[in-house]
Structure 1
C-alpha cells in the first residue's frame, strides 16, 4: 500500500512510495535461537545483521491477464548474522545493513520506548551518512525481537526509517518508460554499472547517470555521493538519478527513493537547484536482464520529481517507518515455527535447552560440547543401566551403547524405566536392544545400540566347546571399548566387573563403577595409569584394590535373595544419577581422567583446601569414591590409592593381558588361583599365616 499525503495548495500530484514489507525466512529464527542460547544469553546488546531487497517483480493474473505487482519486500535470511562478505547475495539484490535488539522477556519487548529507539536509529543513519559520505547508510533498518524458545514463537517488529521532506516531493506527470528519455545504448550502460557497482557481488543501491560527452547515446555513471562533481557543468535535463526499484507498482515506487531524494536535497540542493522549474530526473530501475530493443524490452520507469520550496536543511530531517502488521495497524508481528518444524528437529533443539540455560547465569564455563561428544558404553542394562542411560540423555550425551546378556522379565518394568509389560512376553525381549530402542523412542536424535552377549568372569570356567564363542565375545567387548570414551560398570555380580576393569586400565578409558547394597551404594571412578596426585602418591585405586583375594564365583550356593540385588527401590536411581554426575564433573576438570581426588579429612596429617582448583571442576569436587547410606541419608567421600598387587588394575595384570591377550584371560576364567599367583597375593597370604603362627599367644587366664 502506497504512502500518501494531502496535496494542499499544490497543483502537482505528490510522489508516492510503496513501503517495505518484511519477509523473514524460517532459517533466520533458527539462527537467532542458536545465537540467543549460545552467545547472547542474557545480553540485550544490539547486534549487526544484514538483509536484502531485489528489483520488483510482477506476475500475470491468468484470469484477467493483468500484471499484479508483488510486495516491496526486504528479505532476512539465515545468513543475516554472517559477515556480508562471506554471503553470496541473491541475484539482482541490494544488501542493506540493520541492527537487531533481542529482548529477554515479552514485557521488555512490549514496554521499550520504541519511538526513542526509532529516532536514535534514524539520527545515527543520518550522522553516519554525513560523516562517512557513504550513502549506503540511508537504507539501514532496525529489528526488535523477543524469542519464546520453549514454544518457538518469535515476536518482531521492523522499522525502515524513511526521511520525510517538508514540503513533500511532487511529480510532473506520471511514471513513463525510461526508454523514452534514455536510448537503449544508455540503458545498457546503466544496467552494467548497476551490476558492477555494488559491493560483495550485490547490485548498487543507487547511482548517477548522464550522457557521454563523446557519444550522447552512451552514458556515464558515478556513485551517489559524487553528485556535485559528476554533474558539474551538466544541464539539469541530462542529470539522472537511478535506483534499483523494489516495487513493481506502475505508479508507486519503492521506499528507498525517499531517502535518496532527501540525501540529495539536504546535501546537494545548491548544485541540483531543485525547484518546480528544476526537477530531478528519476529512473526507477526494473530491468533484471540487459535491456534491448528485441529480446528484453526495457521495463524501467522515468519521472521528474521536485519540491515546491526548500526545507530547512540545517536540521536532521524527520523520519517515519515502523512496519504495519497484517491487520494494517502499527504493531509487532509473530512467527510461530512449531507447526511447520520437523518434530525431530524440535526435539533436537529442545532437549538441550535446560543444559544451555545453565551457562546463562550459573555455569558460564560449562563445556557442554565435551559432554555431548563423550561416547558412553554401559555394561549392564538392568536397573542401574536404565537409570544411567536416562541421566546421560539428560546431560546431552548422544552416543549410548548397552551390553547385557539377559531378557526382560516380569519383575523388571516396575524398577527399570526403559521396559514395559509387553517386553516381558514370550520369554522376554533382549534387554540391551530393547533399552536402546526405547531410548530412540524417547529422543530420536540419540545414537543408541544394544548388544547381547555374556561377559566372561573369573571363577566361572569356560567349557572347551565354548572357548571359541568366549573368544568372540571378548573380541567384541574389546572393540566396544576402543569405540567409546567412558565405560559404566553396572552389572549384578562382583566378578563380572573384572574383565572390563582390566580392559579399561589397559586402554586408558574413563571407568565409572556403580554397585548397590540393600540400603547403601558405591559410586567410584577407577584411577588411570601414570596418574599422579599433587602429593606424589600413586594413582587412584579400582574396584578390586581393597581386596586381598581374587574375584571368584559369588553366586554359587546362594539363595534367591542373595543372588538377586535386593535393594531399597529408590537406591538405584540415586546411585545411577550420582555415577553420571561424577562422569560429567570429571569431564569438566582441566586434567580429565587424571584429575586428583581430594584426600579424606585428616589424611597426611595436614589440612587440605578442597575448594582449590586442583580438586574441582566448574561443577565442584571430583571425588574418587562415594559411599551412600540411605539408613542415615548421608554420603561419605573416600579416596584410596591403587594396590600394587590388585588383581584388576595392577601393572602386573595389565602387562600380562597386553602381552598374552586372550590366553591370559582364559587362565583367569578357568584357574581360580591364577590371578593370586600372578599378582603375588598367594605369597601375601602365606606370609600372613606365617606371621600369625609365629606369635607367642599367652593363654593365661589372669593375663587375659
Structure 2
C-alpha cells in the first residue's frame, strides 16, 4: 500500500482579473468588506515535451481566475469546469494581515461538508481568495485557499497509478471521451460491460451501480494534475464524500480514473488508473475532518503573494487611471450620484489656447474629459510659457509653434485648430472663399462637440461662436478677464429650446453690435494684463460651472439661483443638482476675494442669440455671416437695435432742458 500524494492547486490569475478587481473595488465595494461570490475554472492536467531531452514535463495543477470572475454567468473555457469561491477584499494592509484565516477556512469547509452530508458534489471543490488592493501603486496582495479534508489514516493506493489504457480498452476510453467532451464534469461514474461503457452522475451511485460487479465500477474525476503518480487536489474531497456517503460501496476498495484527456492525439491516452483501499476506515466518526489548503508562495512558504502591475503598464494608461481613481473616489466617498460617464463622454471645443485655454484644458482633464479640441491661429510667444502651462520655452523659438497644435500635443489629443472671421473685420474679395472654408471647418467642429468654451481676448471674436452655439443647441461657456476681476457665464439656449426663464448670452446686455476693437491697440491692450492668479481661478470656475450644469437634471435649462447674499444666500443643497448651484454668471473680484452671482435675462434684440440673428443664419448661411463681417450697422438693422437707438435719440431731442439764464453766476 502506497500513501497517495496529491498535487495541490496553484492559482493562475489572468491580468484581466486585476482590472476587474479594480473596478469592483471602486465602483461597487468602495469601503465595504463583505464577502462576495466569484468563479474560477480548471481543466485537465497538461504537459509538454522538452525538445532537447524529449522528456515529458508536467505543467502546474492550475485553477484559473479570469476577468469575468465576478459576473453571474462567466464564460468557462472549453474542456474546463467551473469552481465557485468566496472573495473578500480588505481596505488596509493591516486588516489583510490580521484576518483570522483559520476561521475563514473553517466557514468554507462547513459549506463543503454540508454539501457532502446532503449528497451533492456541486461544492466539493471550493476556494477562498483574500486581497488588499493598493490602487495608487497598482500592487495587489492576495492569498488563495483550496480547502481539502485530511484523512486519518491517510488515503492509500493498492499498487501504483497506471496508464488508463492498461486497464481500459481504447474503445472504452473513446466512449468516455465522447460522453463528457462537450460538457465536462468535475466528478462522474463509469461502468463497463464488455465493449459497452456508460457514464453517470455520482449522486445516482447506488442505482447506477446496482447489479454491476466491483471490477466494472469506476469513479472518475476531471484531474487538473499531469504528474504520473500524483492525482490532483479535487480527489481529496471526492474520497471524503465517498467514505461518508457510501461506506459499504468503498469497503473493498475503489477503482479511480483520473481523467486527463481533454483532447486525444494519435490514440495516446494521458489518463491514469488506480485502486484506493481502506477508504471506509478513514471516516469512522462521521464528523467533519480537519482541512488544509492555504496556497504556498513561489518560495514554498505559507504567505501571501504580490502582483505588482505598475512596471508592466503603459505610463499613459497609468496616468489615465490615476485621474479616474481620484474621480471615482470622489463619487463613492462624497457624491454617489455623480455621473462620471456623462462627463467622460462630453466633447469640449476650446476657442482660444492662451492663458484661459491652457488652464481650462488642464482642469477638464482633471475631471476626466478626454476629447478636447483647440482652435487658435496665434503662435507661442516668449511671454506665454510663464502664464500658460501647456507651453514651454522651446515652443517660442523660431517664430513660435502654432498654439492650438502645441497645446493639443501637450495634452496628447491632437485636433489642429484654424482661424475664423469676426464682425467689424471686413473680408477682402480675394479671401472670401478661404473664409467660407474656415467657417465651414468651425461649423463642423461645433457639430462634433457638445460644449464650446469662449476663451478669447476680444469682444468681437466671441460673436460667431455665440451664434453657432445658439443655433446648434450647444452648451456655451464664456470666460473673460480684467486686471483683477473676471466674468464666467453659461449662455442660455435659444427661445425654441428654453424651459422657464430664458437666460442671456454674452451680448444680451449690449445695445451695440460687436465691432473692431483690435486695430490700433497699444502694447498693454494687445496683451491680457491680469493678476497672475486670475486666469487659473477663472478657468477653474468655468470648468466647475460646466460640471454643475452637466450633473443637473435639467441640463442646459438648469435654473439660475436668485442673486442674494448674506443670510438670504441660496442654499446649494436645494438647487437640485449633484454639485450644487448652477449660476448664470459669476463675477469675481480679487481685490475683495469675492464672487458675485448674477442672473441676466435674454434680450430679444441681442446680436448674438436673438431669434432674428439665428433665423437669418439658418436661412442664408455664410452669406448672412459675410454681411455681418463686412457691413457696418448690419447687425443693428437686423435685430432692431437701430430703431432702439433712433427712439432713444428722439426721446432725447424731445426733452425740454432747463438751462439757467445766468451761466456766469453758476
Pairwise TM-score range, normalised by the shorter structure? over 0.9
Mapped pair 1:452 → 2:418: yes
- Partner residue, 1:508: 473
* Matched positions, count: 663
For residues 345-390 of structure 1, what are the alpha-carbon distances to aligned partners after superposition, in whole Å with 9 as ceiling and x for unaligned? 3333223111111112101111111111111111111111111111
| Corresponding residue number in structure 2 for 1:81 | 70
The Cα of 1:286 is off from its aligned counterpart by: 2.3
Counterpart residue number, 2:146: 160
Distance in 2 of aligned mates of 1:417 and 1:348: 19
Query: Which residues in structure 2 correspond to 1:636-651 (within 5 Å)?
Result: 636-651=596-611
Q: Which residue of 1 aligns with 2:447?
A: 482
The 1:480/1:297 distance shift into structure 2, 3 A limit, reads closer
**Corresponding residue of 2:262:** 288
Query: Which range moves more in the overlay, 53-62 or 464-473?
Result: 53-62
Q: For 1:418 and 1:386, how far apart are their aligned partners in 2?
A: 6
Cα separation, partners in 2 of 1:289 and 1:413, compared to 1, 3 Å: closer
Aligned to 2:518: 555
Contact persistence 1:167–1:308 (CA under 8 A) = no
The 3-state SS of whatever aligns with 2:416 is: strand
Does the 8 A contact of 1:531 with 1:594 survive in 2? Answer: no
Structure 1 residue 540: deviation in Å? 0.1
Q: CA separation in 1, counterparts of 2:545 and 2:633?
A: 34
SS in 2 for 1:242: strand
C-alpha displacement at 1:126, in angstroms? 2.3
Runs of 5+ consecutive residues of structure 1 not aligned to the other structure: 1-11, 441-446
Determine if contact 1:195/1:204 at 8 Å carries over to the other structure.
no
Counterpart-to-counterpart distance in 2, 1:298 and 1:573: 70
Structure 1 residues 172 and 417, CA gap change in structure 2 (3 angstroms) = same
CA distance in 2, matches of 1:619, 1:280: 68
User: Is the Cα–Cα contact under 8 Å of residues 456 and 462 in structure 2 kept in the other structure?
Assistant: yes
Q: Is 1:670–2:613 an aligned residue pair?
A: no
**Structure-1 residue corresponding to 2:641:** 681
Residue-by-residue CA offset, 1:232-279 (whole Å, 9 max, x unaligned): 233333321111211122221111000101011111113x1x33xx11
Q: What are the residue-to-residue correspondences of 1:16-35 with 2, within 5 Å?
A: 16-35=5-24
Aligned to 1:138, the other structure's residue is in SS state coil
Question: CA, structure 1 residues 163+73, in 2 after alignment: closer, same or farther (shift >3 Å)?
Answer: same
Q: Who is 1:222 aligned against? A: 200
3-state SS of paired residue (1:493): coil
Q: CA deviation at 1:298?
A: 5.7
Q: Report how far residue 129 of structure 1 moved.
A: 4.5
**Structure 1 residue 290: deviation in Å?**
4.6
Show CA shifts across 1:270-308 (max 9, x none).
3x1x33xx11111112223358xx733564332333237
CA distance in 2, matches of 1:61, 1:676: 88
Cα distance change, pair 661–289 in 1 and its aligned pair in 2 (3 A):
closer
Indicate yes or no: 2:506 matched with 1:519.
no
CA–CA distance in structure 1, aligned partners of residues 623 and 658 of structure 2? 50
Structure 2: runs of 5+ lacking an equivalent: none
CA 1:129–1:637 in 2, change beyond 3 Å: closer, same or farther?
Answer: farther
1:463 to 428, 435, 438: 428
In structure 1, the residue matched to 2:222 is 244
1:97 is paired with a residue of what secondary structure? strand
More displaced stretch, 253-262 vs 75-84: 75-84
1:103-138 alpha-carbon deviations (Å, 9 max, x no partner): 12111211111111110011122224544x430210
Give the 3 Å change call, closer, same or farther, for CA 489–558 of structure 1 in structure 2.
same
In 1, the alpha carbon distance for the partners of 2:353 and 2:140 equals: 42
Matched ranges for 1:32-431 at <5 A: 32-84=21-73, 86-90=74-78, 92-131=79-118, 133-196=119-182, 198=183, 203-212=184-193, 216-270=194-248, 272=249, 274-275=250-251, 278-290=252-264, 295-297=267-269, 299-307=271-279, 309-431=281-403
* Cα offsets for 1:171-211 (capped at 9, x unmatched): 21111233333233322222223324x3xxxx111111112
SS at match of 1:621: coil
User: Where do residues 435-446 of structure 1 align in structure 2 (5 Å cutoff)?
Assistant: 435-440=407-412
Give the secondary-structure state (helix, strand or coil) at the position aligned to 2:281. coil
Contact 1:266 1:313 in 2 (8 A): no
**Alpha-carbon distance, 1:311 to partner:** 2.7
What does the per-residue CA deviation read over 1:620-641, in whole Å, with 9 as the maximum and x for residues that have no partner? 1111000000000000010110
- More divergent stretch after superposition (317-326 vs 573-582): 317-326
C-alpha change, 1:209 and 1:607, in structure 2 (3 Å) is same
Instruction: State how far apart, in whole Å, the 1-side matches of 2:271 and 2:629 are.
Output: 88
TM-score (norm 2): 0.95
